[in-house]
Structure 1
Amino acid sequence: MPDHIHFLLVIDGEHLDKNGANQFGHLKEGMPKAISVLKATFVSKMKKKKVQFAWQRGFYSETIFRKQRREQVSKYIRDNPKNWSK
C-alpha cells in the first residue's frame, strides 16, 4: 500500500545526556515532538513544490531494544513495497 511510510529512527547514546534526553527531550516524551518536526518539515517542502499532501493524524511507534527485533522490523520495511499489489 503506497499511501504510508515506515522508517526506523535510530538514536545512539552519543546524542543523549546522562538522563537519556536529547534535543527533543527525554526519549519517551521526545518521540512525539521529533515526529511532529519531521511531519512539519515534510509538509513545508511539499508546499514549496506545490504538491498536495496531508499526514494522517497520529502515528504508531515502537521502541526497539533488541537486535533481533530491529532486524525483523527492518526486513518488514524492506519487503513492504512488494506487497502493494496484493
Structure 2
Amino acid sequence: MNETHFRGQYRIDPARLAEYDYGSNGMYFVTICTRDRQPYFGSIVEKGDGYALQPTPIGQRAIDCWLAIPDHFPFVLLDEFQVMPNHVHGLLCIKKPDYDGWQPNAFGPQRQNLASIIRGYKVGVTTFAVQQQIEFGWQTRYHDRVVRNADELLRIQKYIRENPAHWATDQDNVAGLYM
C-alpha cells in the first residue's frame, strides 16, 4: 500500500524523541494509563491529612511491581511515583556508571532502556491479572518526558505527590465525570 491510501488518517506520530537515547543516564517522567482509563487500581479516599489510593488487588500489584523495577533493572533508581485508579505516574532515574555510547531511539528490539523497563512493568501487572482472573488491560502506549533540570524535577515530584488530592477534578477521572 502506498502512503496516499489512507491519506495520513491512521498514522500515529511516534511518542519518543527521534534522536534521543532512552537508555542513557537521566531522569524520566512516565505516565501509563489503563485501557479505556478504567479505574482497575482502586479508588482515592481521604486518609488523615490527605488523599491516597485504596488499592484493589491489581492496584496493590501495580504498586509492588513498580517497587520491584530495580530488582529487574539494577541500573534504575526510583523516585516519586503514584498509582492512581486508572493510571500510574512515576519518575525513573537510569544510572549506568560505565555508559558511554549514545544510541538514538530506533525501531527494533528494545533492551536496557526506558521502553524495556515499562514493558517489563506492564507485563508484571498483566501476568498477575491473568493468573488471578482479574479483568484488566493497559493502554498500548505510554507518555514519557525527559526531565531537563532540577526545577522541572521539583515541579514533577510535587505534581505526583499531590495527584490524589486533585482526583475529583482530574479530566482522566472517568468516574468523576458522572459525580
TM-score (norm. length: structure 2): 0.39
Given residue 82 of structure 1, which amino acid in structure 2 is its aligned partner?
A
1:16-51 per-position Cα deviation (integer Å, ceiling 9, x unaligned): 522157x924xxxx3222211211121112222332
- Matched residue, 1:3: 86
The number of residue pairs the alignment matches comes to: 80
Does 2:107 align with 1:34? no
- Matched residue, 1:83: 166
SS of 2:151's partner is: helix
Deviation, 1:59, is 0.8
Given residue 72 of structure 1, which amino acid in structure 2 is its aligned partner?
R
Does 2:106 align with 1:19? no
Paired with 1:63 and 1:31, the residues of 2 have a C-alpha distance of 11
SS of 2:91's partner is: coil
Does 2:137 align with 1:54? yes
- Contact 1:2–1:81 (CA under 8 A) maintained in structure 2: no
Paired with 2:115 and 2:147, the residues of 1 have a C-alpha distance of 16
Aligned-residue Cα RMSD (Å) equals: 2.3
TM-score (norm. length: structure 1): 0.75
Q: 5+ residue gaps in structure 1?
A: none
Paired with 1:39 and 1:8, the residues of 2 have a C-alpha distance of 16
- Contact 1:24–1:33 (CA under 8 A) maintained in structure 2: yes
Given residue 41 of structure 1, which amino acid in structure 2 is its aligned partner?
G
Higher strand share: 2
